[in-house]
Chain A
Amino acid sequence: MIPAAFFLVLSIVLFVLGVAAFFIKRDLITMFLAVEVMLNSASLAFLTFAGSTASLDGQVIVFFVITVAAAEAAVGLAIILVVFKGKKSIQCDDLDVMKG
């Protein structure tokens, strides 16, 4: 048996790594991957609490998280493609149209 707190700490580590990667990396695809990491850490936290309270509702929530992540990945990647067609670059430093 593994203490449930370990899983929770792992989920926190994943979330913090996702946040750090989101701010450190400068191209849109890698920032998007960081968002996926954060979503997965949320799933892990849900599953941890589902396991420690012996309820199945957490697993259902994780299904919805995965589904929403798939939809979000499709739309986000389409947006990235459109941006790339327009600007020929996906570095977020180049997207300064709305900079005051």
Chain B
Amino acid sequence: MIISRDRAHSVLFLVMAFAALGGVFGLLDAPFVAAVQVLVYAGAIMVLFVFVIMMVNGRDARRPEKKKSVGILAAVLAMGLFAELLLAIRDIFPGMGNTGPSGRVDTAGLGSLLFGKYLYPLEITSILIIAALTGAISMAGKRGPK
């Protein structure tokens, strides 16, 4: 995704990466979350991105990156961040044990948790979705000055 010059290629690589991440979620005993990841992320959100890329892909689609120094600086800083995060989680490595597909899949428990303990966050999230959709339509859908 970083090295590809074309935006459309970036999005297609990212679809593949998100589908693969859905597989990793499935490995972690979360098959329902994996399905939602593949459907919503690799499906819906990425289709949205592809549509917007089709609308805005113009003459500047393949302009080369100008500043080389910024890229090098960003890479160095990213390596630093990687080392810091590894140091931060190093202490909890031995206590984590193993995980993976163990067969104790509890999708029903997930549903009752979602509509029981987390009912109010769920409702608030639906309000957030409606607000975001309304805002997006009112922003992008208005006619520009002809």
- Report A's interface with B, CB cutoff 8 A: 1-5, 7-10, 12-17, 19-21, 23-27, 29-30, 32-34, 36-37, 40, 43-44, 47-48, 50-52, 54, 56-57, 59-60, 62-64, 66-75, 77-82, 84-85, 88-91, 93
Contacts and interface: CB of A to CB of B under 8 A. Distances in A.
B99 A48 contact: yes
B66 A48 contact: no
Contacts, number: 198
Interface string B5-32: 0010011001001100100110111101
Interface residues on B, range: 35 or more
Majority SS of interface residues in chain A?
helix
A74 B79 CA distance: 31
Contact of A47 (B17, B33, B66, B128): B33
Given A3-B97, A62-B30, 8 more contacts: A12-B82, A26-B65, A33-B1, A56-B113, A72-B132, A74-B136, A81-B52, A84-B56
B129 A70 contact: yes
B113 A85 contact: no
A24 B2 CA distance: 8
Nearest to A89: B60
Contacts of A78: 135-137, 139-140
A36 B14 CA distance: 9
